Structure 1
Amino acid sequence: MRTFTGEPEADGTNVREWFERRSFHHSEFDDIAHLADQKNRAGVSVTLVLPTRNVADTIGTVLSKLTVLTTGGTPIVDQVIVVDADSPDGTAEIARSYGVDVYSENQLLPRYGTALGKGDAMWRSLTAASGDIIAFADADSKNFATHFVVGTIAPLLLEPDVHFVKAAYRRPFSEGAQSRPQGGGRVTELTAKPLFNLFFPELAGFVQPLAGEFAGTRELLFSVPFFTGYGVEAGILIDAAEQVGLKAMAQVDLGVRLNRHQSLTDLGRMSYAILRTVLHRADAAGGGLHHAGPYLHAVAQADGLHLNEYLEELVERPPMRTLA
């Protein structure tokens, strides 16, 4: 077992130092003209991929808001791809009306058979993506804004040493007429974060390790495998760290993200997939269960991102009959 105390990991990066240095706020990247200028100077192109499944109620708004990033003399996004799960609600038809590239997930790399979930669709989308930078975003956001995309792209344009960027945000939970400012992202809080603390504590500084909003260089994303289902985001995060090291990764506070909530049954399936993914990667890395130190809890709050530390002691008392 390795003991984790926040000391430098294999690439020499201290988690808390990384958190302070590589955590940004989307407002730092509000100057779109400057970003476009940097993009042109670098001579790079950007592709945005939207994996979709039955999001007819939100896809139109998302694509409409993206227009400001894709038009004009200096677009931030050069290509938008919608990869749809053959949604019966007309998602693909709505997307086509906005003039973006729309594919059925089963249309890409058909020799691999029927697509096996979101991760498979994301993996297949790379065959249609032309960008030097490739960003992904979920299309079910009820409050989608352009900074959901700009935020993950910007550090890749402005920070030469950054190769992967993950979104961070607050996840309110609404049920009926009641709403709580925190409480969404139940699989993240109850499954993913504890797992990362135990098996990959160098990644415990990510506020939303399962966020569907992230971006990476083409070279990186073409160099990592993709799990086919719900485990895709966790797997990519682990593999990106293995490829480029924590110091080449960043996260951006996007504020608040509102999306539809899933049933507990669906969340159970998701948790199972995340558990299998992380354990699979941990086993491949030597099965190293870290000797548990303080629990690092990265959280987004109204005043920014915080990395909290809690001492969760696990003490086992002996059977009473063994006491002298």
Structure 2
Amino acid sequence: MPVRTVAGPAPAPEELLAAKGSTTVTVVVPARDEEATVGDVVAGVRRAWVDEVPLVDELVVIDSDSTDRTAEVARAAGATVFAAAEVLPELGAARGKGEALWKSLHVTTGDVLVFLDADLIEWGTHFVSGLLGPLLTDPGVALVKAVYDRPLLDADGREAETGGRVTELVARPLLALHHPDLAGLVQPLAGEWAVRRSAFERFSLPVGYGVEIAALVDTAAAFGAEAVAQVDLGRRTHRHHRHDTLGPMAVQVLAAVEARLGRPTGEQARRATLTQYDRAPEGFVPRPTDVDLSERPPAVSVQGYPATAVRP
């Protein structure tokens, strides 16, 4: 069966609450140097789905080595904040979005996890209810991805072009070649998604930007593509990434899919060097970037899980 697409508005709040029953819900916002936007994301979710409608049981920000006031702003807006580096420090340090999501498993208890990016500019609190709808109303759904229009904004806030460059040039071709059962996904790398803990805690997770495509591929492998749903949430804008910062992201997405095809192995599976070039007076100068391709093991394999959770 193909990926399920859910169109139209999310179920009414009273329907979601009835469907929720005893299921617990955690919203996780991974953040690094996002003091300008993380407060609005946290405050919006807290107002809509904690204070007004008790749909969300935990609202957590995982702060990934921020050098600004991200943690302070998020805490003031109503989130419980954890420093990623202080969660299971005995397992060694890693940096990346996947690392933050993996660490979130060890400091939360929700049966369902909803992930929202911290750099959202134009969005809505319906993102949470929309993503939760299929998981709360259909036991056959294990993972839900967001679908939205996603224009990119330039430095002055004007729409510059359509987002999704890594999706179009890397993720979608990979799915076409190796996972055609997932080709129906409009935005496989969407940062807004939700998943059942019972599935997510059993997956190996890339520490970087490969986490989203890895979770998709692993969900389909474990439960079939029909266990993946996507929900149209309308429109989303976020902070623009320079084109040359997309290279390391693309390497991590490629590596995550290759790892699930059974290759590569050894040191090559853990690191790669991406060489890009800058123009200088003497010509083109190489600029190498060390890209972390390592993966965290399934959370259920960590000794003491889930009792490893730390508290602020």
TM range, smaller chain:
0.7 to 0.9
Identity percentage of aligned residues:
41
Conserved? CA contact 2:43–2:78, under 8 Å: no
- Equivalent runs, 1:129-144 vs 2, <5 Å: 129-144=108-123
What corresponds to 1:217 in structure 2? 196
Conserved? CA contact 1:164–1:217, under 8 Å: yes
Is the partner of 2:27 in helix, strand or coil?
Answer: strand
- The superposition leaves residues 64-100 of structure 1 with CA deviations (integer Å, 9 ceiling, x where unpaired) of 111220124x511110110001312201001111332
- The superposition leaves residues 25-76 of structure 1 with CA deviations (integer Å, 9 ceiling, x where unpaired) of 3x43151122112212xx111001110011111111111111220124x511
Q: Return the offset for 1:174.
A: 3.1
TM-score by length of 1: 0.77
State the one-letter code of the partner of 1:32: P
Q: Return the offset for 1:196.
A: 0.8
What corresponds to 1:262 in structure 2? 241
Is the partner of 1:29 in helix, strand or coil?
Answer: coil
Distance (whole Å) between structure 2 residues aligned to residue 109 and residue 140 of structure 1: 26
Aligned length: 262
State the one-letter code of the partner of 1:35: L
Greater share of residues in strand: 2
Q: Which runs of 5+ in 2 are unaligned?
A: 265-312
Distance (whole Å) between structure 2 residues aligned to residue 108 and residue 70 of structure 1: 25
Query: Which aligned segments of 4 or more residues in structure 1 are displaced greater than 6 angstroms?
Result: none
Select 1:28's aligned residue among 3, 6, 9: 9
Distance (whole Å) between structure 1 residues aligned to residue 37 and residue 153 of structure 2: 18
Distance (whole Å) between structure 1 residues aligned to residue 153 and residue 10 of structure 2: 30
Q: Return the offset for 1:115.
A: 2.7
What corresponds to 1:166 in structure 2? 145
Please tell me whether residue 106 in structure 1 is matched to residue 85 in structure 2: yes
- The superposition leaves residues 235-271 of structure 1 with CA deviations (integer Å, 9 ceiling, x where unpaired) of 1111111111111110001111101111121111111
Q: Return the offset for 1:176.
A: 5.3
What corresponds to 2:224 in structure 1? 245
> Which protein has the larger Cα radius of gyration, Structure 1 or Structure 2?
1
What corresponds to 2:298 in structure 1? none
What corresponds to 1:312 in structure 2? none
- Equivalent runs, 1:1-324 vs 2, <5 Å: 13=1, 15=2, 18=3, 22-25=4-7, 27-40=8-21, 43-66=22-45, 67-72=47-52, 74-175=53-154, 179=159, 183-283=162-262
Conserved? CA contact 1:86–1:92, under 8 Å: no
Distance (whole Å) between structure 1 residues aligned to residue 221 and residue 23 of structure 2: 25
Conserved? CA contact 1:86–1:104, under 8 Å: yes
